[in-house]
Amino acid sequence: MRPSSRTLILDAAVRVTDRQGITALTLEATAEEAGLTKGGLLYHFRTREDLLLAIQRHLVQGWEERLLAELGRPWTQASPTERGAAYVRVMMRGEVRHADLAFMVEAESNPDLAQIWNELMERWAPTPQSPDPQGLDLFLARLAVDGLWLFNATSGNALPEEVARALRARVAELTVGGPQAPETKGANSPVTVTEGANTPVTETEGENTPVTETKGENR
């Protein structure tokens, strides 16, 4: 299906920003990049502010589509943990474009633009509201991948692949669940009971569990 003129304009605006920065993004530069007259662009976007708002929504929609593809099912059918893990995986291997960073920074000074990004984050990787260990692990993973994405977008120095792979593995560990439960003995597990003066006695028994007793003094 051929993209609509509106989508062509938005993609053109992103390319201009990616190449030259957001200060170079004008209605004239966008129209030229899209192969339209300025009048043709003004039919869709009357002002630069209208264009900026539409670009933010366009970029967020692209992230949303990648996240849903990673999740593999509708957002409403996934748990918060599954949604957070999908976000982490997408960000760890996500494409870094200077345009994304430029528009995120632009949004910080404009509440209407910032709200678009905030809504995306609240759907996929919300700020924890309680000290639940699993929620904290997911938030730590989000902070890690956001920081890695920012590093790649701003540093100009790519990490060695071996290091990047190790970082991804460490971060992925935070998305697999909370702390492991302590191992307990169950059916058919031998249990040793030791009794004597000043000796603590601990018994853990399960079904069909043989119990061995050892007695002595001052053990």
Evaluate whether 93 touches 87 at the Cβ level (below 8 Å). no
| Per-residue pLDDT at 3 | 64
| Per-residue pLDDT at 84 | 93
Nearest to 141 by CA among 171, 176, 118: 171
| Per-residue pLDDT at 146 | 93
Question: Mean pLDDT in each 10-residue stretch from start to end of the chain (219 residues)?
Answer: 80 94 94 94 94 94 94 93 93 82 88 91 93 93 92 84 91 72 41 44 46 47
